[in-house]
């Protein structure tokens, strides 16, 4: 128990302290408080100055716009995925460069927007090994994109990794194979990415709601949900998956350049006149095999005819032998082994695939594609299963340039197989690529090391004509299966 005199003294001291606090000058902004809740002894101007990055003028963003300022100290917050940190919230753990989908290529740690590389690695994303143990041939092979082009002609290859061109220092060319060029997104008038109304990803603009156009340069006067509603077809698909919705109106992917009335039309692109043609030819008007009327992509057949394209007579006057003979033409099999014969007429498989066509299904444009689906190597056009190469290119798939920009020694080094023999002794080397012997049709492969006679046959045809022989194994077209691609798994035409 304290003496009575001491109690009076404590009461007096408390009164004086309260009076002193009430007299604190207004310049100390008693409304500012530290994170502990105590009054802040800094003026508002001084507090904000401490929360701004050096060199920023008054009124500039506090805490880099990523936090709030409390008595001169930044309290970082999160407004998007990732974590902000640092005295001024200047660091963001997801800002570091990535390579092949991994931050710092998996060979370093991200430290405030900079990759700190592990020993033996370098580069902005730690993607380059300090010591390269790859041969030039192997390195270049690892740098090729799906079109067999090194670094997409937009960079240089360093030890199996592409270093993209960046002469402007803006990093707009990127990707594992430098396949993305965001310079395509720059608006010519405003010089902004996607006109300032969208985000660019790999050279394509993705516009904000209410904007459209290749570079988000046009504004729409209706909300996006209303635009989508107007473009939605009765089956629930936007523009029937045959067009693009632009501000409530469908712009159909019209494949007919000759007139106003295209093959694909309708308010929601629901009509596709190509479905009415036995063999699609954009310059032909042969609808419904000449035995019916095309109405919005569906054939209304005349009496005595039936089928999706009115191609089958209801009563066939041909014998079975005559029917097969008409379907066979000059091929070894009826419908070239790629279709169904009915009353002397072929229905090509797979249904709806316009790459297989012809009176006896003799044309198969899939033969113009490589295993990555590239037609004629990107250097020619396909005509009835055969590549017509552009000037300066040759080969079955237009894969060989006529002009070579490498020395003979460089070319030969790229043509040597694992055993060191040039093109396995079964072909010649041209500009770093093997051209297999034409006399031995069955020799194939990157180094002419494959024997297509090893592929299974059916009815005398390799892969039954329904696939491509890839180094002794049949790679079947869609809808076909079996060791020799002899089994059709799809549904037949009615």
- Residue pLDDT, tens place only, 82-131: 677 778 888 776 668 788 778 888 899 888 778 899 999 988 889 888 88
**pLDDT at residue number 94:** 64
Residue ranges per structural domain of the chain: 257-365
d(CA 57, CA 102): 37
Cα–Cα dist 10/44, whole Å = 35
Written as one string, the DSSP assignment of 78-123 is: -SSSS-EESTTS-EETT-S-EETTEEGGGSEEEETTEEEEPTTEES
pLDDT of residue 150: 93
pLDDT at 406: 83
User: In the prediction, which pLDDT does 79 show?
Assistant: 61
Reported as type and span, the H/E element at residue 295 is strand 292-295
Closest C-alpha to 97, from 113, 78, 80: 113
Bridge partners of 381? 388
- At 280, is the secondary structure helix, strand, or coil? coil
First to last CA, the chain: 106
Judge contact between 430 and 438, C-beta under 8 A.
Answer: no
Which is it for strands 345-348 and 339-342: parallel, antiparallel or unpaired? antiparallel
- Percent of the chain scored above 70 by pLDDT? 85
DSSP per position, 142-201: HTB-TTS-BGGGSEEEETTEEEE--TTSS--EESTTS-EEGGGGB-TTT-SBGGGSEEEE
Top CATH class, 257-365: mainly beta
223, 210 contact by CB (below 8 A): yes
Element (H, E) at 7: helix 4-22
**Structure confidence by residue, pLDDT tens digits, 126-147:** 988 888 888 989 999 999 988 8
Q: Are strands 108-111 and 114-117 parallel, antiparallel or unpaired?
A: antiparallel
Residue 79: count of CB within 10 angstroms of its CB = 9
Given a contact cutoff of 8 angstroms between Cβ atoms, the answer to whether 28 and 41 are in contact is: yes
Q: Are 356 and 384 in contact (CB under 8 A)?
A: no
Compute the mean pLDDT over every residue in the chain, rounded to the nearest whole number. Answer: 79
pLDDT of residue 11: 40
Q: Could you tell me the mean pLDDT of each successive run of 10 residues in the chain, 494 residues long? A: 45 39 35 58 88 82 85 80 75 75 86 86 87 89 90 91 83 87 88 88 83 84 85 88 85 60 79 72 64 83 80 78 85 81 82 82 86 85 90 84 83 83 85 81 82 74 77 80 77 44
Q: What angle do CA 151, 154, 156 make, to 5 degrees?
A: 55
Instruction: Tally the C-alpha atoms within 13 A of residue 381's C-alpha that lie toward its C-beta.
Output: 2
Rama region for 379: left / alpha / beta (φ>0; ψ in -120 to 50; rest): alpha
Q: What is the DSSP string of 430-454?
A: ETTEEEE-SSSTTEESTTS-EEGGG
């Amino acid at each position: 128990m304290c003496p009575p005199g001491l109690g009076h003294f404590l009461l007096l001291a408390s009164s004086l302290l309260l009076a002193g606090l009430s007299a604190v000058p207004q310049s100390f902004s008693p409304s500012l408080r530290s994170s502990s809740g105590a009054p802040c002894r800094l003026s508002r101007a001084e507090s904000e100055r401490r929360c701004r990055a050096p060199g920023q003028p008054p009124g500039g963003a506090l805490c880099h716009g990523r936090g709030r300022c409390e008595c001169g100290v930044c309290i970082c917050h999160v407004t998007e995925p990732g974590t902000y940190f640092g005295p001024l919230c200047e660091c963001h753990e997801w800002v570091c460069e990535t390579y092949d989908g991994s931050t710092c290529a998996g060979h370093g740690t991200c430290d405030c927007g900079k990759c700190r590389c592990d020993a033996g690695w370098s580069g902005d994303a730690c993607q380059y090994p300090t010591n390269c143990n790859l041969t030039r041939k192997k390195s270049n092979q690892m740098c090729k994109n799906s079109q067999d082009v090194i670094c997409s002609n937009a960079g240089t290859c360093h030890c199996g990794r592409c270093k993209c061109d960046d002469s402007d220092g803006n990093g707009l060319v990127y990707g594992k194979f430098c396949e993305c060029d965001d310079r395509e997104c720059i608006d010519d008038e405003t010089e902004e990415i996607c006109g300032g109304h969208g985000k660019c990803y790999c050279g394509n603009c993705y516009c904000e709601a209410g904007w459209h156009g290749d570079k988000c340069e046009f504004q729409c006067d209706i909300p996006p949900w209303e635009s989508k509603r107007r473009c939605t077809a009765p089956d629930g698909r936007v523009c029937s998956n045959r067009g693009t919705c632009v501000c409530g109106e469908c712009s159909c992917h019209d494949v007919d350049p000759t007139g106003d009335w295209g093959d694909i039309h309708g308010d929601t692109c629901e009509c596709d006149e190509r479905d009415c043609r036995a063999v699609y030819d954009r310059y032909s008007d042969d609808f419904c095999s000449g035995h019916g009327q095309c109405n919005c992509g569906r054939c209304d057949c005349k009496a005595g005819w039936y089928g999706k394209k009115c191609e089958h007579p209801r009563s066939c006057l041909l014998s079975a032998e005559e029917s097969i003979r008409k379907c066979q033409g000059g091929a070894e099999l009826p419908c070239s082994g790629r279709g169904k014969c009915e009353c002397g007429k072929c229905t090509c498989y797979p249904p709806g695939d316009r790459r297989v066509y012809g009176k006896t299904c003799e044309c198969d444009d899939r033969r113009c594609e490589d295993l990555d689906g590239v037609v004629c190597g990107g250097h020619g056009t396909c005509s009835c299963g055969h590549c017509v190469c552009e000037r300066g290119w040759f080969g079955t798939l237009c894969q060989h340039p006529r002009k070579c920009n490498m020395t003979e020694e460089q070319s030969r080094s790229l043509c040597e197989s694992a055993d060191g023999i040039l093109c396995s002794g079964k072909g010649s080397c041209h500009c770093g690529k093997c051209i297999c012997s034409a006399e031995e049709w069955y020799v194939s492969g990157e180094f002419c090391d494959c024997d297509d006679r090893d592929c299974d046959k059916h009815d005398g045809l390799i892969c039954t004509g329904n696939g491509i022989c890839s180094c002794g194994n049949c790679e079947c077209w869609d809808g076909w299966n079996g060791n020799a691609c002899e089994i059709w798994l799809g549904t037949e035409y009615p």
